Amino acid sequence: MQKAAKVLGATLFDADKAPDEVRVCTDTRTIERGDTFLALTGERFNGHDYTADAVKAGAAMLIVDEADARVPGVATLLVERTLSAYMTLAGIARDAFRGRVIAVTGSTGKTTTKAFLTQLLAPKYGNRVIAAPANENNEIGVCKLLLGASNEAHDVVVVEMGARQYGDIATLVAFAKPEIGVLTNIGEAHLEIMGSRERLADTKWALFERGARAVLNADDSVSIKRVDRLAQPPHWFAARESESVERQGRMTTLVGRSRAIDRHGERCDAIDVEVSVPGVHNLANAAAAIAGALELGVPLESMRDPLATLRLPEGRFESFRVPAGWRVIYDAYNANASGMVAALDAFAMEKPERAIAVLGSMAELGDESVKLHERVGAHAAKRVDVLLVSGDYADALARGASSAGFSSQMIVTIRDNAQAARWLREHARRGDVVLLKGSRKYKLEEIVEDLLQ
């Protein structure tokens, strides 16, 4: 334990009470006897308030950065900052892991790509793959994942990396050390916080700054422009309607929903497949997952069955039938402009008798907010019959639709989710399909909950 204290730059109290191994837990609700409780501090919580509860639940040691949070008689490591200590411990766990580590990031599609990739790895690795649930993709989530991996139980760690601030990916890469990095795309997410598109691109491209083998989207303009910065050629992926190849080097292509092709030098492998996930954007996510699985040694042929049964993560294009006989598609886990456009395109493929879209506003787009909302509104005009708009930029969504020739009589501005649910109860009819899409802050799932009551 003195070694751990030295690595963390910590002061160790009650060393004679310290456990033989450090099993880190940050949630008092899931502590097992003998665990070490690490007290994290966030905007809405302070783990230091629960150190006594952690000890009562079985914690054998504490890691804190507030001295008065110590519990008398309990081994404690007092560090400068608990989040930094958490990342250091995760880095040690990563260095000890003998398996493969692959990371996925991007402005859109990273959670879906991670889910698809995990499913495609099953033929080779079975249940020896560990990936974070949902979108636990910040420092805390990645640390938890790496500390949960073991050489006894796992061969592959699939890491999802999110970025809300400039430089976040570099922070994650520094301790996760992925050997393969999948970049789905670079769009507009978090532009307001990042400050510019260039800073956004710099943040995402930090995925490769420690030498990770790059898996890149052949349709992403930023990746095409930056590819020369890589130390080795990338593995390109794309969803296409034909078998054309535009990129030099290895390229994996999902042709429509019926054929997967991997070209690598003189070699070309191809299989017939049946991919049923909705939307062209999800075909691109599936192609990214295929390429990632190939990098991890999964034979293309063995992916045929998993591709036919790919499952989307919760909150992505989920379909619900309401008692009145019409359907709701919930795809509002989060949203940016490219994601909104992709969802509207996928929605149009449903071919309902009447397409109704409830679009919440998008968050954190900075100076481009109005322009991007107008663009989404204009695209919606080509894809839906009725448009409900809400949120801070409802006017821009409506204006964009009107400028594209959409009838103002078919645009409804709503104040809140309760009003949206009420409008749908009164106006939606059998055969209609309703799309719910918007940023997480608007909690559009409340509409689903209301309608299913």
User: Got the DSSP string for 92-107?
Assistant: HHHHH--SEEEEEE-S
Rounded to an integer, what distance in angstroms lies between the CA atom of residue 13 and that of residue 74? 8
Q: Is the pTM of this model over 0.85?
A: yes
Would you state the pLDDT for residue 363?
85
Which stretches in the chain have pLDDT values below 70?
Answer: 188-195, 245
Rounded to an integer, what distance in angstroms lies between the CA atom of residue 117 and that of residue 99? 16
Rounded to an integer, what distance in angstroms lies between the CA atom of residue 97 and that of residue 353? 53
Helix, strand or coil, per DSSP, at residue 396: helix
Rounded to an integer, what distance in angstroms lies between the CA atom of residue 366 and that of residue 49? 36
> Residue 453 class from Cβ within 10 Å (0-12 exposed, 13-18 middle, 19+ buried)?
exposed
CB 428 within 8 A of CB 380: no
Would you state the pLDDT for residue 365?
85
CA 56 to chain centroid, in Å, comes to 35
Rounded to an integer, what distance in angstroms lies between the CA atom of residue 359 and that of residue 336? 11
Rounded to an integer, what distance in angstroms lies between the CA atom of residue 105 and that of residue 114? 9
CB 87 within 8 A of CB 147: no
Q: List, in order of start, the domains of the chain with CATH numbers.
A: 2-80 (3.40.1390.10), 87-308 (3.40.1190.10), 318-451 (3.90.190.20)
Rounded to an integer, what distance in angstroms lies between the CA atom of residue 434 and that of residue 179? 42
